[in-house]
Amino acid sequence: MGNCSKPPRVVLLGKQGAGKGTQAARLADHYGTVHLSTGDLFRAQAAQGTAFGLEAKRYMDSGDLVPDEIVMGVIEECLAPGGPLDDGFVLDGFPRTVPQAIDLDRVLGARPLDLVIDLEVPKEIVLDRIAGRRVCENCQTVYHVNMPPSHNWTCDKCGGNVRQRDDDTEEAVERRLELYERETVPIIDYYREQGLVIMVDGFGNGDEVFERLVKVIDDRMQA
Ligand code: ADP
């Protein structure tokens, strides 16, 4: 638990491979709050073969965004008052378009965001990270070919199978980065007008980046 009494309501933005997923999980753990990754949620649904999951997978595998109405249909309930996100959250991968950001504000209503963090990492570095990225298909823990699990591509946390994501192909990555610039970067201006954006340097090892994130969140929560 951090040294602030109320769990924060944070949106983490950053390019593919910026380290959002790893850091969001650590932050949620640190603040005793919920980590919501729409990508993880969609992959889990796809693995279970639900109608929604299979539809989402078609978009995901080609690097396209899942349409806004479909995304909102799935997560609106989660965000609504009385839902699992009442006691703070770290959102990872949502919102990803301006209409989603507007919808999020509407659903949050009287419980607005505390801050939006833009985790900055240069493109050359994210390309390298994504090329070597391997993910547990069960619990979504992220590894890298240079830092694999201890036993034969079996997840250290849950024993699941660790493999490359279906959308970590060169073409899909290119497409996702292009869509990030076009659809997600405009969100930063949207939130900047609300005075919510803080940039954090995402370059460096995981512990260093984590400390930077905790510092900006604690500063904001104590302000
Ligand atoms: P990445 O940030 O590397 O693309 P994610 O796991 O966050 O990885 O997302 C994987 C895919 O899931 C995206 O490429 C997209 O197809 C879909 N997706 C996840 N979140 C959203 C969202 N908020 N809106 C639309 N599509 C989404």
Q: In this predicted structure, what is the pLDDT of residue 6?
A: 86
How confident is the model over 91-111, as a mean pLDDT?
Answer: 95
Q: Which residues pair with 34 in a beta bridge?
A: 89
pTM of the model: 0.92
Mark whether 20 is an active-site residue.
Answer: yes
- The finding on whether 71 has its CB within 6 A of some atom of ligand 1 is yes
| Six token digits for residue 148 | 């694999």
pLDDT band per the 50, 70, 90 thresholds, residue 93: very high
- The finding on whether 93 has its CB within 6 A of some atom of ligand 1 is yes
| Six token digits for residue 53 | 């999951």
Q: In this predicted structure, what is the pLDDT of residue 3?
A: 46
Could you count the other beta carbons within 10 Å of the beta carbon of residue 78? 16
Q: In this predicted structure, what is the pLDDT of residue 80?
A: 84
Residue 4 clears pLDDT 60, i.e. is over it: no
Q: What digits encode the pLDDT tens for the residues 182-209?
A: 999 999 999 999 999 999 999 999 999 9
Distance (angstroms) between ligand 1 centre and the Cα of 74 equals 13
Atom of ligand 1 nearest to the CA of 172: 14
Higher pLDDT, 81 or 112: 112
Q: Which amino acid is at 223?
A: A
Dump the DSSP string for 26-84: HHHHHHT-EEEEHHHHHHHHHHHT-HHHHHHHHHHHTTPPPPHHHHHHHHHHHHSTTST
Q: In this predicted structure, what is the pLDDT of residue 150?
A: 97
Atom of ligand 1 nearest to the CA of 95: 23
> What is the Cα Rg of the chain in Å?
17
Cα dihedral 200→201→207→211 (10° resolution)? -30
Q: What digits encode the pLDDT tens for the residues 129-160?
A: 999 999 999 999 999 999 999 999 999 999 99
Q: What digits encode the pLDDT tens for the residues 11-62?
A: 999 999 999 999 999 999 999 999 999 999 999 999 999 999 999 999 999 9
- The finding on whether 39 has its CB within 6 A of some atom of ligand 1 is yes
